[in-house]
Structure 1
Amino acid sequence: MRRLPQVKTLVIKIGSNILTNNSTIIDNNYINNLAKVIGELKSQIENILIVSSGAVAAGIQVLGLQEKPKEISKRQACAAVGQPKLIQIYENAFEHCGLKVAQILITKDDFSNRRRYLNAKYTIRELFSNNVIPIVNENDTVVVEELKFVDSFGDNDNLSALMAGLIGAELLLILSDVDGFFTADPSKDKSATLISEIKYFDSKLLGMAGDSITSVGTGGMKSKILAAKKALNAGCYVGIINGKDPENIKRFLNGDEIGTYFSHLEDPLKKRKLWIAYAAIPKGEIVVDEGAKKAIVNDKKSLLPSGIVNVNGRFNVGDVVRIVDQKGKELGRGKVRYSNIEIEKIMGKKTAEIINILGYKFSDEVVHRDDFVLSDFLEG
């Protein structure tokens, strides 16, 4: 039996391939069974949030299409038609279990904007206090990137990790169409074996995980591994299980050794740094000299104006920017305490000169160490 942490807040991620049984038709019976399981879990887990794909698949069904459209505009139309249909199916299923659901559609811009990020957090907190289960999906009707299989959130695996960090979940449970994480693709390699527990990330893990795109979904095992890494960095344990049978959710939470459990949290990022590292879109970049590079990377120091040699892009106080060396290599990302116009005036100068140059001083640091994340956390 596994020893899981006490779970007060749980995030469950469900992909289109699970909701449709790898077809283009939403499986209503599956959602009914899922609602029943979650209804039973509510007696022991206070807060449950679902990150659900399926809007495009539901739209395909509503519009009577035979396959997933290739054109982005048609996929967006499917999402627009399918999202209300999908939430209606969820609503009906959970109503039979005496539970209410809420629809939350979100884009990466909502995470990039600190105010909207916090508003989303407070909204979900209020929903939890009213015993409501939030159903979260990326807003495919206005977001092009996921529909092109390019990084917006990338896919709902990544979104689920960000949501877990946003709400401070203890466990993220990713429902897959396979039994967990294997040493190789089990559909191609009969010698592949299931890895029951993962304690440390290394380069071999990504090598074992392959990309896959189904007729209705966008994610593969690699996206799940990257999502697991992000969730762990937010202080959230992760499980990847076969979600075709919703009862597996209860089995995993009861400690049965099914699926793959990411069991070790080492130096998790602070919640504010999670936002900087994974959610915020950089507005520009600051180029630093070798002395500043050593100070922020090796000596764990803040970035001062004296070490800055150039500024690219336009940004304001509080925006996130890339910090790069003079060869263009990204060292990390940080939240700036001065705008690009102000930095252009004070770069290369000592901190004592800031007030004389600008007529005011917000801070000695352009990027404080507490608002900086090294590129190690940004790489897959």
Structure 2
Amino acid sequence: MKRESFQHCRRLVVKVGTSSLTHPSGELHLEQMAKLVNELALAHREGREVLLVTSGAIGAGMGKLGLKGRPRTIPEKQACAAVGQSQLMQIYERFFASYGITVGQVLLTRDDLAHRRRFLNARNALRTLLEYRVIPIVNENDTVAVDEIRLGDNDTLSALVASLISAQLLVILSDVEGLYTGDPRQDPNVRLISEVEKLTPEIWALAGGPGSCLGSGGMSTKLEAARIASRSGCPMIIARASLPEVLPRLLAGEEIGTVFWPRERLRERRRWLLFGAQVKGRICVDAGAALALRQEGKSLLPSGIVAVEGDFEAGHVISIVDPEGKEIARGLVNYSAAEVARIMGHQTSEIESLLGCRLYDEVVHRDNLVLQE
């Protein structure tokens, strides 16, 4: 693939980070928001389907509530999000209306992506909004997220949304130019990496810690987003939000930022298994079973299982790990944790005598299993 192919992109997801939308004090940066909306409106007028994943609700709430530092407790973050989200959407709606564009607010949680039916409902809602030429504005539903205030971060959310709607391009606008060979804040001799073909251990090693005090992400979360996008068949670009006309230049194929090229395109259901579904437990397998899964595309049989962790039921998504504890796959399990514990290490022919019936020969069928890279 070449950057010139972005000129023909019809459906794109743009994510913008908190530090690119707010002043250091936490107040919304209206000039930067106006710039972003102008560039999105231009892409929209060109006939593209555009979806915006925006951060900034907690940061905006901090400014409105007069907080000096990022809140630490979940109730404090929820309060900031409740105050800031309405303010954020009000400004977006006003800015987009000046271009004659209608926007729609979509707030998601991990549960919306973890449950298959809700996942499909979210996908259908977003696609319908795009068909009506509405720009969906997506954010984590921070006000009601009780396990963790975020699905993880909005970098990850943007990649999951790009996968959800089968986007052709994911653009992450941040306060950095892209991925560097080192930390530009400490070493002036580092260089920008223009393209990444594969997320090697060397590339992962370049990721630093968290980003600004207002945001929650760093380069590691952006690489995780690239991993999700890569297996969804979607190119991803990291670029500096403040660059003049950054989005039109990217869509024209100009060589700015860092582009991560996709390696494959998993089918939608497999993408959900790997990235959207909530993992309920783990099954540990021996070296022979790990090899059969990785290289031969086999189903998981009870004979190769050595341990079971968690309290899952048949139909739940589980993680499959090798003898070193490394996750090698995820899949829909055919038996409960208690049943797997009883049949593990035994042959398929023994399942009926151990459980009283044999509904399946496989603990996880290969059609319901997705390998990690």
Aligned counterparts of 1:357 and 1:126: Cα–Cα separation in 2: 49
- Contact 1:322/1:330 (<8 A) preserved: yes
Work out which of the residue numbers 68, 93, 96 in structure 2 matches 1:94.
Answer: 96
Tell me whether 1:333 sits opposite 2:315 in the alignment. no
Alpha-carbon displacement from aligned partner over 1:71-128 (angstroms, at most 9, x marks no partner): 3321221111111111111111111111111111111222211111111111111111
- Contact 1:16/1:22 (<8 A) preserved: no
Structure 2 counterparts to residues 204-353 of structure 1, below 5 A: 204-245=202-243, 247-262=245-260, 264-325=261-322, 328-344=325-341, 346-352=343-349
**1:320: how far off?**
0.7
**Which residue identity lines up with residue 36 of structure 2 in the other structure?**
L
Cα pair distance change 1:75/1:94, threshold 3 Å: same
Aligned residue-pair number: 371
Aligned-partner SS, 2:271: helix
Aligned counterparts of 1:84 and 1:314: Cα–Cα separation in 2: 39
- Contact 2:230/2:262 (<8 A) preserved: yes
TM-score, normalised to structure 1's length?
A: 0.89
Which residue of structure 1 aligns with residue 5 of structure 2?
Answer: 4
**1:361: how far off?**
5.1
Alpha-carbon displacement from aligned partner over 1:131-153 (angstroms, at most 9, x marks no partner): 11111111222335655xxxx53
Work out which of the residue numbers 79, 84, 87 in structure 2 matches 1:85.
Answer: 87
**Which residue identity lines up with residue 4 of structure 1 in the other structure?**
S
- Contact 2:281/2:309 (<8 A) preserved: yes
**1:329: how far off?**
4.7
**1:57: how far off?**
1.2
Aligned-partner SS, 2:318: strand
- Contact 2:25/2:63 (<8 A) preserved: no
Aligned-partner SS, 2:46: coil
Aligned counterparts of 2:106 and 2:89: Cα–Cα separation in 1: 10
Aligned counterparts of 2:360 and 2:313: Cα–Cα separation in 1: 15
Aligned counterparts of 1:98 and 1:80: Cα–Cα separation in 2: 27
Structure 1 gap segments, 5+ residues each: none
- Contact 1:180/1:240 (<8 A) preserved: yes
Which residue of structure 1 aligns with residue 110 of structure 2?
Answer: 108
**1:186: how far off?**
1.7
Aligned counterparts of 1:69 and 1:350: Cα–Cα separation in 2: 54
- Report sequence identity in percent: 46
Aligned-partner SS, 1:136: strand
- Contact 1:211/1:223 (<8 A) preserved: no
Aligned-partner SS, 2:79: helix
Alpha-carbon displacement from aligned partner over 1:321-341 (angstroms, at most 9, x marks no partner): 122346655432211123334
Aligned counterparts of 1:195 and 1:311: Cα–Cα separation in 2: 42
**1:345: how far off?**
5.0
Range with bigger deviation, 343-352 or 8-17: 343-352
TM-score, normalised to structure 2's length?
A: 0.90
**Which residue identity lines up with residue 312 of structure 1 in the other structure?**
E
- Contact 2:4/2:252 (<8 A) preserved: no
Cα pair distance change 1:68/1:326, threshold 3 Å: closer
Aligned-partner SS, 1:135: strand
Aligned counterparts of 1:365 and 1:45: Cα–Cα separation in 2: 48
Tell me whether 1:30 sits opposite 2:28 in the alignment. no
**Which residue identity lines up with residue 107 of structure 1 in the other structure?**
T
Work out which of the residue numbers 141, 144, 166 in structure 2 matches 1:142.
Answer: 144
- Contact 1:145/1:154 (<8 A) preserved: no
Aligned counterparts of 1:21 and 1:282: Cα–Cα separation in 2: 38
The CA RMSD measured in Å over matched residues stands at: 2.4
Work out which of the residue numbers 49, 52, 57 in structure 2 matches 1:50.
Answer: 52
**Which residue identity lines up with residue 299 of structure 2 in the other structure?**
S
Alpha-carbon displacement from aligned partner over 1:256-298 (angstroms, at most 9, x marks no partner): 1111122x33233333222222222211122334443332233
